[in-house]
Amino acid sequence: MRWRSGGAPAPHAAPVARRGRLWPRWLLIGACWAAAAPTALVGQSDVVVVASKNFTESAVLGEIMAQMLRAHTDLTVEHRRSLGGTLVCFEALTTGQVDLYPEYTGTGWSILLEEEGRIDNRLQAFLHVQRAFRSRWDLEWLPPFGLNNTYALAMDPDRAEALGVERISDLADAGAEISAGFSIEFMNRQDGWPGLSAFYDLDLERVRALEHGLAYDAIRTGAVDLIDAYSTDGKLLRYDLRVLVDDRGFFPPYNAAPLVRAETLAAHPEIEPVLAELAFRLPNTRILALNDAVESEGADPADVARAFLEEEGLLTPDADGTTAPASRREGGFPAFFARRWQETLRLSAEHLQLTGIAVLLAVLVAVPLGVWITRHPWAERVGLGAAGAIQTVPSLALLAFMIAVPGLGLSTRSAIVALFLYSILPILRNTYTGIRGVDPDLIEAARGLGLTERQILIRIRLPLATR
């Protein structure tokens, strides 16, 4: 990815706490009023103010939202980059000094709503904060960007390979040989080391507190083997570290999404569909590269955001080097496929895999069941009736139900089970209809020849039922 120059390179951002600090109330209000100094005011006609927190990723997300709104609406858009921490941005939003900023579900859950319980399901966390923010503050969470900037544990890949560590649970067997250096915040948070060590039953012999900014240098020099990190930190790429798999799902979700005043959406309804275009376009691998471009290469977040939007086909460069909205219909499907053929093929393969597994399972269940109910009239009514009832359930409702089932959750398993249930009725009904449609005289003739019921099924019923 190339970054066009659009001004002086941004200085390397100093490490910033991402979860917010509980500042005194007067300091919060003073900071927010100081940030309100620009002339354009929130609520003023056709002016929308986007804010971002004081760390790299938030600045990039804020720039992406601001540039999308400038390109696809007639609004005047300000971006107040690095406005402050979580509580400063949230105070500015609730008091109407800004219209929107990128926020994280985990921050909404633990810091703003102050929920005490633990949650590991991303969809449930998003729906909970969405409902709670709407009822308490009249704020709306729009569709998420796709990234999950939660905590992670990272190791040097060679050291991890030598110790046989790929998952967090593997640390239990290698605890005596591992030296860990965790940030002070991670050492004291319940969703950090105290909770993690109890959840995984870990007993590392050498654990010490480090400033987060020094942790990467410490692991590079071999002073420590294991550090905590944020899963979308660009330094993970720069230092080529291995992120351990959270195989038991301890770390809470921190999915980023636009948080917007409902009043702003009511005044400017065009905002929501424009920002919805960004939904799930920024998985962790993508935002990692964008963050690293700012932190390692000194690229300006505005240039990084513009390059990303152009690659996604959401902006097109004009002849003078500026950007303009990309027409969805420009060039038709061939142009779309040329821009995104890799993603199109990947998603098509995923779709074929999901449907293939679901249909195969449905065949293995519905065909024998269809044969069986032809011999039991009472089962015919029950089986076809139950399969028909499942078919009437709306797909989103069925998928939501599957997600709530223990062991399924927000995963491909839920999608496979839902597709499997929808596949049952047509296969069951066609099997039943085909077998019942075989000429009874042929069956009687086969019995007269001495064929068993099994032989009649295999040699007569099934072949004729497929015609």
Which segments of 164-300 does DSSP mark as H helices, in order?
171-174, 184-188, 193-200, 212-221, 235-238, 262-267, 271-276, 284-295
Which of 203, 246, 234 lies closest to 13, judged by CA? Answer: 234
Q: What tokens does 272 get?
A: 């929501």
CA angle 157, 159, 163 (to 5 degrees): 115
pLDDT the model gives residue 65: 97
Cα–Cα distance measured from residue 182 to residue 243, given in angstroms and rounded to the nearest whole number: 14
pLDDT the model gives residue 21: 40
Distances (CA, A) of 344 to 35, 281, 337, 356, 376: 43, 13, 7, 18, 47
3-class SS of residue 461: helix
Residue 132 neighbours by CB under 8 Å, 6+ apart: 108, 113
Q: What tokens does 390 get?
A: 């499942």
pLDDT the model gives residue 334: 77
Q: Which residues pair with 346 in a beta bridge?
A: none
CB 241 within 8 A of CB 171: no
Q: What tokens does 293 get?
A: 């471009």
pLDDT the model gives residue 403: 67
Per residue of the chain (467 residues), what is the pLDDT tens digit? 445 434 333 333 333 334 444 344 434 444 444 444 443 444 445 789 999 998 889 999 999 999 999 999 999 999 999 898 888 899 999 999 999 999 999 889 988 998 877 787 888 899 999 999 999 999 999 999 999 998 899 999 999 888 889 999 999 888 778 889 888 778 877 778 888 888 898 888 788 887 776 788 888 888 889 998 888 888 888 888 999 999 888 888 999 999 999 999 999 999 999 999 999 999 988 999 999 899 888 899 999 999 999 999 898 765 444 555 554 445 566 766 776 677 678 878 888 998 999 999 999 998 888 888 888 778 877 888 888 888 888 877 777 777 667 777 656 788 888 888 888 888 888 888 888 777 777 877 877 787 877 787 877 777 887 77
Q: What tokens does 4 get?
A: 């066009």
